[in-house]
Amino acid sequence: MSKPHLIALDLDGTLLKDDKTISSRTKKVIELAKSQGHIVCISTGRPYRASVQYYNELSLTTPIVNFNGAFVHHPLESSFGYHHTPLDIKTAKTIIETCEAFRVNNIMVEIIDDYYLRYYDKVFIETFTMGQTPVEHGNLQQILQDDPTSVLVHPKGEHIDDLRNLLADAHAEVVDQRSWGAPWNIIEIIRAGMNKAVGLKRIAEYYHIPKDRIIAFGDEDNDLEMIEYAGTGVAMKNGITELKSIANEITLSNEDDGIAIFLEEKLNLKLT
């Protein structure tokens, strides 16, 4: 049996198939890995509320990385600590002002598991919050009272590059931005220096797992730091080219049990 490894799983496009379910083979392999002493955790850009169902489905008992590292906590163990690194509210309001000038389609501000919307939009709510109702919607400058975990912006297609460039020029020192959510082209803004590797490092230290025994799986640009940080960074076949170019290994796609097949071989897990 191999020494305990820490296995970090991105959700969308990685652990989850395109229909947002976990394949039975992947589930069985993860169960087997856990039974042999390996530690499995989720590391996602999603908020906790939109990842807890998968945490429960895999019967995890580990800390979880949400909002690309801006929120890391252990749902079952308060001694791990509650690591929330939000944006400064003044910066957030300046960014919202810029977005308003671009007449963006919508703005969503998240504070841990609560969120606020600029415009009430049923399709947006179903797509990005699994139907959870916003605490409030309307003038975010007035509504917002606390430092937000993240700001999601849905710009008009023709404004994406201009808006990203403007935000980068004005706020590069204090915020990081990522784009995701095709075909929606969402821009996500979180505090600078936050990424999945920051969260994963915290978990690795908690379990005293050295870097060479960390395996991380991802597919998008918000996985770059984590894949680079892990001793074995694995890109999915369906992942972006940039991620594949820095990964140690490339496995099959999220539709083809890529995680299961890689772990079976790497950790010598035999499904009976």
Q: What is the pLDDT of residues 46-62, one digit of tens each?
A: 999 999 999 999 999 99
Question: Within the chain, what is the greatest distance between any pair of CA atoms?
Answer: 59
Catalytic residue numbers? 10
From-to residues of CATH 3.40.50.1000 in the chain: 6-84+194-266
The CATH code belonging to domain 89-191 is 3.30.1240.10
Backbone dihedral region for residue 234 (phi beyond 0: left; psi -120 to 50: alpha; all else: beta): beta
Within 13 A of 28's CA, how many CA atoms are on the CB side?
10
Question: H or E stretch including 27?
Answer: helix 24-35
Question: Given pLDDT bands bounded at 50, 70 and 90, which one contains residue 129?
Answer: confident
Give the number of other CB atoms < 10 A from CB of residue 177.
18
Interval 68-79: pLDDT, tens: 999 999 999 999
From-to residues of CATH 3.30.1240.10 in the chain: 89-191
C-alpha distances in Å from residue 266, one per residue of 39, 207, 215: 15, 20, 10
Q: Which of 83, 79, 81 is nearest to 66 (CA)?
A: 83
pLDDT at res. 73: 98
Burial code (b: 16+ CB inside 10 Å, e: under 16) for 76-102 equals eeeebeebebbbeeebbbbbbebbeeb
Q: How far apart are the C-alpha atoms of 134 and 155, rounded to whole Å?
A: 19
pLDDT at res. 177: 84
Question: Given pLDDT bands bounded at 50, 70 and 90, which one contains residue 182?
Answer: low
Checking if the pLDDT of 87 tops 90, the result is yes
pLDDT at res. 17: 96
Phi/psi at 226 (5° precision): -65, -40
The CATH code belonging to domain 6-84+194-266 is 3.40.50.1000
Mean local confidence (pLDDT), 137-149: 96
pLDDT at res. 234: 98
Q: Return mean pLDDT, the chain.
A: 94
Checking if the pLDDT of 263 tops 70, the result is yes
Checking if the pLDDT of 112 tops 80, the result is yes
